[in-house]
Amino acid sequence: MLTHVQWPTPPDTVTDDLGATESAVNPPRRLIVTIYALYARETQNWLSVSSLVRLLGDLGVDEPSVRSSISRLKRRGILVSHRKDGVVGYALSESALDIIHEGDQRIFHTSRASVSDGWLMAVFSIPESERGKRHAIRTILTSKGFGTTAPGVWIAPAHLQQGTADALRAAGLDQFVDLFRAEHIAFADLREKVAQWWNLDQLHELYAEFIDQFQPLYHRVTDRPEISPRDAFVAYVQMLTTWRRLPYLDPGLPLELLPGDWNGATAATIFNRLQQVLAEPAHDHVRLLLS
């Protein structure tokens, strides 16, 4: 079986290319990160430049674009150069690997909360002398799927507690944040408040884009699951690269608090079915090429 993958948000940081803020058109650098996250952990976190050029060629990316994207990922601290037996190649940096390992669960095993689970509240107040840390805290909370109830007060389903605490602690920001378990008891309608705390319209549109792009393939593999390894690789990498941003914007909110026409469940069904059908033949294609 494949080892799996991850990535969060924020623009203008090292994690941008690991993240979820761009359109459904996948630039080469994001495809490269997906390929590393899916397949390089089987090869001691290393891929040669020539292998990347061949794999990205299957995805319609020319060699100059591959090399340019590798250089950008290296400058951003995501890839590090490393020769193996005299062959030029690259590995994911330790920080990028940490992000990928942390996100495996989020991408492939999304949890759906219920109202009875309660909520996780994050409250922070940063002294003016430490104001640079405000952005760092907001970045972590956004990447975990938190919504905002008021300045400095953020909310998420309770099941995100451990991952949030671990991320804040790892970043050395836990001293500035208090986490609380909470229950909404009054006064506004909770369904209306959830629509204010999270950008559900944006999420609905992103799910709709994913459905429009991959539902035809879903119907095809459901009716006729046979697919060549190369075609499976192309479809799987594109699909996963597009999907991976969504679990970081949707924290698994309770279905009973979401709009009646919520399309996230349909998108998840498409993702899970394509994951089931495409992952192994895609892996066969990469294994053959790397051998």
Radius of gyration of the chain (CA): 20
- In order of 21, 34, 59, the CA distances from 26 in angstroms are 11, 10, 10
154-207 pLDDT, tens digit each: 999 999 999 999 999 999 999 999 999 999 998 999 999 999 999 999 999 999
Nearest 5°: the CA angle 236, 237, 243 is: 85
Q: What does the pLDDT read at residue 247?
A: 87
**Mean pLDDT over all residues of the chain?**
88
SS3 for 26?
coil
Single-letter code of the amino acid located at 230: R
Q: What does the pLDDT read at residue 25?
A: 66
Number of neighbours of residue 34 by Cβ within 10 angstroms: 24
- Provide the whole-model pTM: 0.85
For the chain, percent of residues with pLDDT exceeding 70: 91
- The answer to whether 250 and 106 have CB atoms below 8 angstroms apart is no
- The answer to whether 147 and 197 have CB atoms below 8 angstroms apart is yes
94-126 pLDDT, tens digit each: 988 888 887 787 888 878 899 999 999 999 988
- The answer to whether 249 and 145 have CB atoms below 8 angstroms apart is yes
In CATH, 119-182 is 2.60.40: no
Rounded to an integer, the average pLDDT of 26-30 is 93
pLDDT band at residue 36 using 50, 70 and 90 as cut-offs: very high
Q: Tell me the CATH class for 14-99.
A: mainly alpha
Q: What does the pLDDT read at residue 34?
A: 95
For the chain, the structural domain boundaries read 14-99, 119-182, 199-290
7 has a pLDDT exceeding 50: no
6 has a pLDDT exceeding 50: no
pLDDT band at residue 219 using 50, 70 and 90 as cut-offs: very high
20 has a pLDDT exceeding 50: no
Number of neighbours of residue 31 by Cβ within 10 angstroms: 22
Q: Do domains 14-99 and 119-182 have the same CATH topology?
A: no
Q: What does the pLDDT read at residue 222?
A: 85
**DSSP states along 51-65:** HHHHHHHHTT--HHH
